[in-house]
A and B are shown apart, each in its own frame.
Chain A
């Protein structure tokens, strides 16, 4: 058995038929055809139709997704068992809604002063008018990380620093999980041998109702000392931002 081509170059108005000769049997491996527009009034689908010897259509190999615009030409190939590949879509990357605030926090108990606030998700986060509170305003579940680091000055050996974080909300706040506070630890020595005192607190909060949740942060020192800490608040929304909150 040999595979062989059968070809016709005659240009005729569709349809163009090939009748299998008498006493011949073939298995069709492929069809390729060139179509030229000759004033078609509408869009059209290239098609291969196989008919039995009584003219009954046995199959129509065509695809609604392969439509040729009226006025256009086409060169088309058909292969058994091969479907047209659908066009790929560019995958979209989703990210968790996130915000970061950076500011100064002093040990006199005054409100922090945030001089940087960054987010692309203004439907979830905002900074209050005084630039001293980060607010969660979108419904969802959030992981909150608050840090403070005192990098200058001299703290006594008996000094106790206290970093307090809490959310206030019109209808209360639901703390799903307090991941914990490391407490204040000395993590090394900066220039001149000054200890770096650092504290990180992390917790998870839920804002199912979509209220405005305001993060209060304060830093105190006992005995009192005039220290200033670099202070960061980072919040990530950890539920599916496109579905229901946890």
Chain B
């Protein structure tokens, strides 16, 4: 049975190009991703600050580029 839950996001957070919004399931103890959980419908509501086509954004797992300190 679905459990409707609501928790907070940071307010006034402006996200630049190539930033990633990840929806995931985390282990409560380790913070690692828990396998065996599927993510189906995901809907963001956003203010489109540049007015471009957001539908061209890519959904799905992809290889992240390691940061300088990685």
Contact = CB atoms under 8 A, between A and B. Distances in A.
A175 interface: no
Contacts of A77: 4-6
Contacts of B16: 20, 25, 52-53
Interface string A6-28: 11111111111111111111111
Nearest to B18: A53
Contacts of B20: 17-20, 50-53, 55
A50 B17 contact: no
B19 A52 contact: yes
B14 A25 contact: yes
A62 B33 CA distance: 13
Interface residues on B, range: 35 or more
Contact of A56 (B26, B33, B47, B67): B67
Interface residues of A, number: 79
A78 B23 CA distance: 11
Contacts of B1: 72-73
A69 to B, nearest CB: 8
Contacts, number: 338
Contact of B57 (A20, A34, A41, A46): A20
A14 B24 contact: yes
A84 B5 contact: yes
B8 A11 contact: no
B53 A21 contact: yes
A81 B8 contact: yes
B19 A42 contact: no
Given A25-B16, A26-B46, A31-B43, A47 B64 contact: no
15 contacts: A5-B44, A6-B45, A6-B54, A15-B23, A15-B25, A28-B44, A31-B21, A34-B42, A40-B36, A47-B24, A48-B22, A50-B13, A50-B15, A52-B67, A80-B13
